Amino acid sequence: MKLLRLAPENTKFPFMRFRRVSYPFSAALSIISVVLFLTLGMNFGIDFSGGTLMELRAKSGTADISAIRSEMRKLTSGDIEVQGFGSPSDALLRFGVPKEGAVAQEQTVAAVKDALGSQYDFRRVEVVGPRVSGELVQSGTLGVVISIIAVLCYLWFRFEWQFAVGAIIATMHDLLLTVGFFSITRLEFNTTSIAAILTIVGYSLNETVVVLDRIREMLKKYRKMPTDQLIDVSVNAVLPRTIMTATTVFLALLSLVIFGGEVIRSFSLAMIWGICVATYSSVFICSPMLIYLGLRNTSAESAPAPEAKDAKAKKTGAVKTA
């Protein structure tokens, strides 16, 4: 088992010393994410913007992107996007909802199948109208908000209020940076991206609760230890578990990126980004927040560290033996 250990035991890394660096750094990234969202926006898929998505595969040879694009310009006058993905024989065709409405959209789909059906197989066809896309936006946003409120209520009753506030701040930090990630990478934002965001929220809260639970345990054990020192001891205690969890999830997601195909690529890449951000925020955002929220008096008299207590106990035992 020692060969599988990714972090040494009994580490004493002073995490809380870096809070004066991690907070400005995270604040800058959050502001950049908001600016990117307001300026560049999101690359919404047809789930949210409405339109038609067709996945084509050439029956023989490679997909001719330019020929498909020129053929589409004859069939529709709206926005058209044709790109290759996956293997050289695959192509992705996307066009928005025609001005004439849903009937014209269905007619365009039928015309495309007639024009390209002899050369390409249609592996996937998705048609979403503007009304459905608007409902998906509302439902997705409502789902994320309700999940965060529910978690806030749970943490408020499960722990002290400082723990709940720290966890929510860390979770909002992760959400903002994930939105910035989608904006700057221009990955398609669709319903699977909503699933990725909800999964990131769950993973982030799981990592945060593990750290908070150890901090609460240490609060009962070392009542006079200063808060920053106590948090350092708690984070170092769960560090091997945190690194092992993040590494195993990262390897699973990496295999999805490589072998999962284009359909779930945005989900997998967002999740990889999310686990890195969530692991960082549970240590450098949520934990230091407890100090600023006044969980304990940082000027309290320091209790003997665990190593000092062990040494004192051994010394006392040796004196009694003598």
Whether residue 160 contacts residue 211, with contact meaning beta carbons closer than 8 Å, is answered with no
Distance CA(240)–CA(235), nearest Å, equals 10
Q: How far is 42 from 30, CA to CA, in rounded Å?
A: 16
For residues 23 and 273, give the distance between their C-alpha atoms in angstroms, rounded to a whole number: 19
3 state DSSP class of 297: coil
pLDDT at 219: 83
What are phi and psi for residue 108, nearest 5 degrees?
-65, -40
Domains of the chain: 8-43+133-307 (1.20.1640.10), 51-128 (3.30.70.3400)
User: Could you state, in chain order, the average pLDDT of each consecutive group of 10 residues for the chain (322 residues)?
Assistant: 60 85 92 92 75 83 82 72 78 73 74 83 76 66 78 76 85 91 87 84 87 86 83 88 88 87 81 92 89 64 47 48 43
DSSP letter (8 states) at residue 61: S
- Check residue 244 and give its pLDDT: 86
User: Beta strands 51-58 and 90-95: pairing type?
Assistant: antiparallel
pLDDT of residue 300: 47
- Residue 6, pLDDT score: 60
- Looking at residue 318, what is its pLDDT? 46
3-state secondary structure of 294: coil
Contacts of residue 49, defined as CB under 8 A and 6 or more positions apart, other chains included, come to: 96, 133
Cα distance between residue 275 and residue 203, in whole Å: 7
- CA neighbor of 171 nearest in space, from 79, 253, 286: 286
Which residue is associated with the tokens 């789902």?
143
